[in-house]
Structure formats: structure tokens, C-alpha cells
Amino acid sequence: MEEARAIREGVGLIEATAFTKHLVRGPGATAFLDWFTCNKLPAQGRINLTYALTATGTVRTEYTIMRLAEQEYYLISAGAWTEYDGDYLRKAAEDKLAEFGWIDIHDVTTQWGVFAVAGPKSRDLLGRLVKDATPETVLSNARFPWLSLRNIELGMCPVRAARVAYTGELGWELHHPIEMQNYLFDQLMAAGEDVGLKLVGARAQNWLRQEKSYRAFGNELGRDATPLEADLPRFVDMSKEFPGKAEMAATGIRAKCCTLLIDGPEDADPWGREALYLGDTKVGRLTSGGYSVAFGKSIGMGYLRPDLAAEGTRLKVRMLNQLWDAVVTCDSPYDPKNATIRKDG
């Protein structure tokens, strides 16, 4: 709980090197990725979230795509899925070689370390280390807007910095050469001594991302739900063709993802997989759970019958062999307008 509050109130440092990372480049890279994924590709220097679908239209892989150049992309996907994602990328590119042209797909997972810094004081922290002719503005919205990337230097460490945060706070991912990781860590810790920098683990990050209704791969996202059932139509470009598009559309909305606030027991929080009830009828299940520091109660995400997945629906969740009150809340109940994550400075 203290770690989650540190991000909401100060700044937290999260070790995120385990991300899978692939470099995709070559004359056919743009055409291939535009076909391979369901969202629009980002402009150069920008970031986008997208999905590769299964043959049945469900989510096979979630990608954060950074566009480094006209025909060069840096793809980030789930940790521990490196071979799974790499094999699928390479086979898909080989099958489309005649149509799109040559594509180089290179696994760079072990070459890049990643730290994530997030919280209202994260800009202050990075501003103490960044090397720039005008360090007071390099991290501003004008030069470094939300969902963009820049090559910067922190001390003597070259960093591919991305302005994005899984916690819903002002923040950056700092992708750096793995051989510089210890040096960069020491620099960040020293610079953060008087701004309350705290090391933060995955559980605190998981709690905070639920307050923003950020879906997690392996929980809300996977082979049993389409992006539309995950209630993510903004990441699906139906004007283009992509694998699984027709199957996704034909599936319809069997269940819908939503966020719930839960009046649970004082000494326990949901973990995920708990059943949801309307009266005595089971109507869905949680896929994630935890504690909300913003609302002072348990929080969860899960799938419900579409007719019940509406703000204000009152349900019960089974925990510790009892039923506890739960209510469906709006998407992103914490800072729904993203004012915090877009904060200027």
C-alpha cells in the first residue's frame, strides 16, 4: 500500500527489464505491421498500443509500438513471452515476404534494460539528470508530449525515453543499454533522495493500473476474449484488413470487460477469478483484483454479461466463501480525463 501511495503522491521506480522487445525494420516493415496488428500505426517519434489477433479474433499478443523511423519499429510485449512472440512475428513476416518485401525482425530483449519512473515528481527527478541545452524544457509537453519518445541522456547513459506510464500517473519508461543499467540505477536513486523516490513492485503497479482500467495481458486480455469484448474499440481500426478481423466481428460481444469497486473484508482483497453474482445467479468473473488507494476499498476488473456491464450496476463478489457488495464503476475511475498523466511542466 505504501508503494502505491508513493507513486500517487511522489515518485516510484519500477524495474521493467523483463519486457519482450523486438526491432522490426526493412522496406516491408510498415506494410507488414499495418496488416499484422489491428490498430493504426503511430507516426514517427510516437507510441501506440495495438494487438495481434488469433485466427478466431481474440487477443494473441499485446504490443506497445514505438516508431523509430519511417521503416523501423520497436515492439514491446509481455515478459516471458519472447520466444512465443518472436516465432509468430517471424513466421507471419515470412508468409508475407512476397507481398510486403524484406523485413528484419531482431530480438533485442536482452540488449535493453527498462526502468519506469512514475508519479507527480517524476519530471523533477529526471530533470536533475537529463543532459540538454535547455534542461528546463526538454521534459515539457511542448517538447515531450504524452505518448511520444525521445533519445535523451541521463548522466552519461543514453536512454530511449517513452512518455507513458502503466500506473496512470505522469511518468516515463527509460529504455537503456543493459550494460549501463547499474550506473543508471545508481544515478536515479541518488537524484531521488530528497523527492521521496521509492522502489515499487509489480503488485502496487497492478493495483494502480486497475484504477485506470488498464487491461493486462494474461488477465483481461487473451485467447478467450476479443478486443471488442475487452471494451477497447478505440484500439481497433475497422477500416483496414488484419488477421482475425472477420472472426472478431462475427463473435459479437459475449461478455464485456468492466471495472468494479468492492466493499470487501478489511483483511483481504480479490486476486482475480472470483465469481460475480446478481442475486443467486452467477453473471461473470473477476480477472484482476487488488486494493485501491484512491478509493480506500477493494477494486477489481472482470467480465460480465453485456447487459450488466454498465456504470451503477450493483452485484456481489464471492470472497472467503461469502458474498460482498460490488458496483460497476466508470472506465478509468481515477482521473478519467487523463489530466494527471498529461500534466505539463
Please report, for residues 26, 66, 75, 76, 208, the alpha-carbon distance to residue 110 in angstroms, rounded to integers and kept in the order given. 22, 18, 14, 12, 27
CA 12/CA 9 separation, integer angstroms? 9
- Report DSSP state, residue 338: -
| H helix or E strand, kind and range, residue 315 | strand 314-319
Mean pLDDT, range 95-107, rounded to an integer? 96
Q: State residue 135's pLDDT score.
A: 79
| Residue keyed to cell 504524452 | 146
Q: State residue 169's pLDDT score.
A: 96
Q: Which of 135-139, 243-247, 268-272, 319-323 has the lowest mean pLDDT?
A: 135-139
Cell (9 digits) for 104 = 528484419
**pLDDT tens-digit profile of 304-331?**
999 999 999 999 999 999 999 999 999 9
pLDDT above 90: percentage of residues in the chain:
95
Mean pLDDT, range 39-56, rounded to an integer? 98
Burial of 74 (0-12, 13-18, 19+ CB in 10 A): buried
Predicted TM-score of the model (pTM): 0.95
Complete domains list, the chain, with CATH:
2-16+112-207 (3.30.1360.120), 20-107 (3.30.70.1400), 255-331 (2.40.30.110)
CA 327/CA 186 separation, integer angstroms? 44
Q: Which of these, 149, 320, 290, 324, lies nearest to 216 by C-alpha position?
A: 290
Contact (CB, 8 A) for 23 and 72: yes
Contact (CB, 8 A) for 130 and 153: yes
CB atoms within 10 A of CB 225: 24
Whether 194 has a pLDDT exceeding 90, the answer reads: no
Q: Which of 165-169, 189-193, 216-220, 341-345 has the lowest mean pLDDT?
A: 341-345
Whether 80 has a pLDDT exceeding 90, the answer reads: no
Mean pLDDT, range 38-67, rounded to an integer? 98
Whether 229 has a pLDDT exceeding 90, the answer reads: yes
Whether 281 has a pLDDT exceeding 90, the answer reads: yes
Please report, for residues 196, 276, 332, the alpha-carbon distance to residue 213 in angstroms, rounded to integers and kept in the order given. 26, 18, 5
Mean pLDDT, range 83-102, rounded to an integer? 96
Q: State residue 17's pLDDT score.
A: 96
